[in-house]
Chains A and B, each alone.
Chain A
Amino acid sequence: MTTPTGNSAVVDPDRFGDPTLELVLSRRQVLAFLGAFGVVVPTASLITAIDGSVSKAHAQAAPGQPVPRLAVYTPNWPDMVELWRQLSKDWTALGIDLDVQQGTLDTFVSQIVAEQKLPHLGSMSWGGAPDRLDPDYFISEMFHSRRALKGGLNFGFYKNESFDKLADDQRQAMDLSERQSLVRRAQEVVVEDSPSLILYHRDIIHAYNKKRFKGMKPILGNGIGFPYMPLAYMDIEALTPRKVLRLTSIYDIASLNPFQTPEIYNSTTLRLIYATFVTRDEKAEVMPWALHSWNVVDKTTVDITLKPDTKFHDGKPATVEDVKFTFDFILKHKFPAMGRVTDAVESASIAGDNTVRLKLKQPSAPFVANVLGYAFLAPKHIWENIPANLATPADWPNDNPIGSGPWKLMEWRKGEYIQFAANKDFYMPAKLDGFIAAVVPQMESMVGMLERGDSDMLAWNLDMTLGARISQNPDLEVVRTPTHGQHEVRLNLTMPPCNNVAFRHALQHATDRKKILDIIFSGAGVVSHGAPITPALEAWASPNIKGYEPSIDKARASLSSAGFTWNAQGKLVMPS
């Protein structure tokens, strides 16, 4: 038998009778030994306890008592960890102590969103997905009281009836200027009530090889490389004979079936193959894509007209039948991934040579942007004939996806890459011959590949510092694009002292957003005034929102005015 370093150890005493094996310890010696062991372990645990290893104190704050340690739950990303280190340091000036616990993102989402178990505070970041360009997302999904249920994003339990009314009204306001005014007022209410500390909108930073390609199109929330906006890749041109762009991405898709998954990266990648009815242009305005045009007939009726001469990738022409089929198919099977279509559309009927009339269940201002921008043209002749033994068509592998979009699938090597070829029959064909999205889960390798020339575009969020290093390379260009995504700190409005609006205002004043943005993201982003919608979206931003000036004095003043006091140790005490 061998020891850990490979030396031979005594196992068989018959081979050499070693007298030491006859050692018989006294009871005292055994106890002494065990005692020594018993000392080591508690000491070690004591040392770790002194470190302040997490304790789950969710003590309720009683009137007149010092505020207990506020429990924070956050994803375990390095930038979130650093965020809470900053906030912990900054908020001690208010006499507040924090108890920060982390969880992996999946566990975080299950506890906070699925189970609605937010402690006092939590933090989250939201990416620049296309449907979030419409204000409904950051207004209704996050803060409407209807969404304070299991699975909903109002996990801070914010409930304000006047806000709810504004949110409901803006959703049904078909007149643009009326809607804008409602959205602005809703934001002002949110900023005043401060259910969340919206921190900043971090810029998207991508990089590409400018010696080989040009024509990159930066789009809000998409940068130059994300697949969220199909328009981003359309003008890219090759400067060398190789007309295929190689980009790197952190994720891989899970499925080629567009009815199956709502996950953003997967669904937007598939919508390169399956053209959505409308999309957004570089100014974030809605533009027709598979459609020729649409017409809002009345509050619950929309006519959509298909582009003539549309062809699917297998050469078959797309007709109005396919449009009607798409909606009927979705309504019949009620795919969970297409929930927003099922929730909005009542029925679809043919109303002309190329026109389908959609009846909506209720008036909906975001309908065109979010539903027509998500639903896509599906070929009837394919989806009618899928195997019948599946539980749902969403389970069909769809290994040969046939759509009408600007890109055709060439090859998908699971976990490695996915390769597309340009669809030259598309009304606005791409200038490239194709592109390849390689799956590279490590930022380190992505950067290395770009620098070495193994890839042409880094399509994931870089840090500014990394970006600065990359831009020193004469072949590479770093592109910085603003986003409508955001980072926020959410408060649980059912747990004192977070239920006290003056307390929340104090936290707003005590949070130096610029300093934190500088430390964590090298300042690459837009500091928020607290409004959920980024100032970059000028159509919806409210000019009346001034934000909360970072000032500890103002924070303390806000607390004092609400009856908070400080004890001899400087700890914050609840009002009595």
Chain B
Amino acid sequence: MSDASSALPHAPAFDGRIRARTRSIVDFLKIAFESWSGAFGISILALIVVVAAFSPWITPYDPIANHFNAAGQLKRLEPPSAAHWLGTTYYGLDVLSQLIDGSRIVLIVGITCASFIAIIGTNVGLIAGYCGGRVDAVLMRITGLAFGIPFIPFAVVLVALLGPSLWNMILTISLLMWRTTARVIRSQVLSLRERAFVKAAKIAGASDVRIIYVHIFPNVLPMTLLYVAFDIAWAVLAEASISFLGFGDPNQVSWGQMLYLAYVSGSIRQAWWWTIPPGLGLSLFVISVFLVGRQYEKLASPRLR
């Protein structure tokens, strides 16, 4: 620790309770289990992560293989049976395999988008909040723009422009959803920059970049991480919505896409085995993220205890 700032007086190091709590990952995870809702949430998330990680080995069949019965006919829209626990789709694909395979997209899209959103949003918020003046005005105009543009129509535009691939969807989602994070971080920074330790660092001659990233950033980090968590949920819902409208990546199996195919083939009401699992999966994932996030909010804002 060789920053100049470490030589400056600052308030008694940390709240002992929080420090002790975060000392180990286990303790970190224990926070989630403090309430029944948090426990439920983290269990579901853990389940989805495990399923996604091991999906190539867990899927009973190849997710895009068509299945035929003994007479050589396609097993189209079959209800659940011993061979296919969740039945088959319109083209005779095994629903359970698709469900398992689709969980990977949930995590990939969720984590990648949330990371991008966090990076863009936090930086915009930090720079806008700290620098103020014209920089702030420009960045806030751009944020205002991002707020105004309607999300799904814009996603359609980008898909028309770039093509419906997974990366383009991640790009689309990230390009608009950083707006909330930016605003929130900015308002935090606005209050933080008036505080004593920041002023002291300035007097000591620390550069702006240093102040932003070494002094201010760590203090908005909890809020950033919190928004990262919720952005995972929003990103997953956004991907499901875009896929449901038919603009998703046809080369990847995703839960939103399963719902799209069920809808567009006119079977969404009849083939309940095809439509309930992905919808349920999405809902459970998002609820779990909310419930777990609520528990960790207390880290970011002790007032809630």
Name A's B-contacting residues (CB within 8 A): 1, 3-5, 7-14, 16-27, 29-30, 33, 37, 40-41, 44-45, 47-48, 51-54, 76, 78, 81-82, 85-86, 100-104, 106-107, 442-444, 447-448, 462-463, 465-466, 469, 518-520, 522
Contact = CB atoms under 8 A, between A and B. Distances in A.
Interface string B208-226: 0000011101110101001
Given A444-B266, A465-B76, A10 B163 contact: no
B29 interface: no
B302 A18 contact: yes
A78 B251 CA distance: 11
A510 B66 CA distance: 18
A404 to B, nearest CB: 39
A24 B215 contact: yes
Interface string B83-109: 000000011100000000000100010
Nearest to A15: B303
B266 A463 contact: yes
A457 to B, nearest CB: 16
Interface string B1-40: 1110110001111110010000000000000000000000
B14 A81 contact: no
B184 A1 contact: yes
30 contacts: A3-B226, A5-B294, A7-B301, A10-B300, A10-B301, A10-B302, A10-B303, A11-B188, A12-B191, A14-B191, A16-B303, A18-B15, A20-B302, A24-B197, A40-B115, A45-B167, A48-B166, A53-B167, A53-B249, A78-B261, A78-B264, A100-B251, A102-B163, A104-B164, A104-B247, A444-B264, A444-B266, A444-B269, A463-B90, A518-B73
B250 interface: yes
A540 B263 CA distance: 39
B251 A52 contact: yes
B1 A26 contact: yes
B111 interface: yes
Contacts of B116: 41
B178 interface: no
A85 B265 contact: no
A45 B171 CA distance: 12
A76 B293 contact: no
Given A24-B3, A519-B66, 19 more contacts: A1-B187, A1-B188, A3-B293, A5-B297, A11-B188, A20-B14, A20-B302, A22-B10, A22-B11, A33-B221, A37-B118, A41-B112, A45-B112, A53-B167, A78-B265, A101-B165, A447-B266, A466-B266, A466-B267
Contact of B164 (A102, A465, A466): A102
A53 B266 contact: no
Contact of A518 (B74, B195, B264): B74
Contact of B192 (A21, A29, A52): A21
B90 to A, nearest CB: 7
A86 B64 CA distance: 10
B159 interface: yes
Contacts, number: 185
A115 to B, nearest CB: 14
Given A4-B293, A44-B112, A30 B302 contact: no
A48 B171 CA distance: 14
Contact of B14 (A10, A19, A48, A448): A19
Given A30-B214, A78-B265, A106 B160 contact: yes
A469 B267 CA distance: 10
Contact of B15 (A20, A81, A107): A20
A53 B265 CA distance: 25
A51 B252 contact: yes
B255 interface: no
Contacts of A518: 73-74
Interface of B: 1-3, 5-6, 10-15, 18, 64, 66, 73-74, 76-77, 90-92, 104, 108, 111-112, 115-116, 118-119, 159-161, 163-167, 184, 187-188, 191-192, 195, 197, 213-215, 217-219, 221, 223, 226-227, 230, 246-247, 249-252, 261, 263-270, 290, 293-294, 297, 300-304
B218 A30 contact: yes
Contacts of B301: 3, 7-10
Given A24-B218, A102-B250, A444-B268, A7 B297 contact: yes
A249 B112 CA distance: 40
B41 to A, nearest CB: 11
A519 B76 CA distance: 9
Nearest to B14: A20
A17 B269 CA distance: 56
Contacts of B76: 465, 522
A51 B221 CA distance: 33
Contacts of B108: 44, 47-48
B6 A24 contact: yes
A23 to B, nearest CB: 5
A447 to B, nearest CB: 5
Nearest to B291: A5
Contact of A24 (B18, B77, B187, B214): B214
Given A4-B293, A102-B164, A47 B218 contact: no
Contacts of A101: 163, 165
A444 B163 contact: no
Contact of A51 (B2, B230, B251): B251
Contacts of B119: 37
A247 B143 CA distance: 46
Given A7-B304, A51-B251, A465-B76, A23 B219 contact: yes
B106 to A, nearest CB: 12
Nearest to A17: B11
The 6 closest A-B pairs by CB, nearest first: A4-B230, A9-B301, A25-B218, A81-B250, A44-B112, A10-B301
A448 B300 CA distance: 49
Contacts of A33: 221
B213 A19 contact: no
B115 A21 contact: no
Contacts of A37: 115, 118-119
B261 to A, nearest CB: 6
A80 B81 CA distance: 28
Nearest to A1: B187
A462 B90 CA distance: 13
Contacts of B187: 1, 11
A221 to B, nearest CB: 23
A1 B118 CA distance: 18
Nearest to B165: A54
Given A1-B184, A5-B294, A8-B301, A23 B218 contact: yes
Nearest to B19: A20
Contacts of B2: 27
Contacts of B165: 53-54, 101
Contact of A8 (B6, B118, B264, B304): B304
Contacts of B10: 22, 24
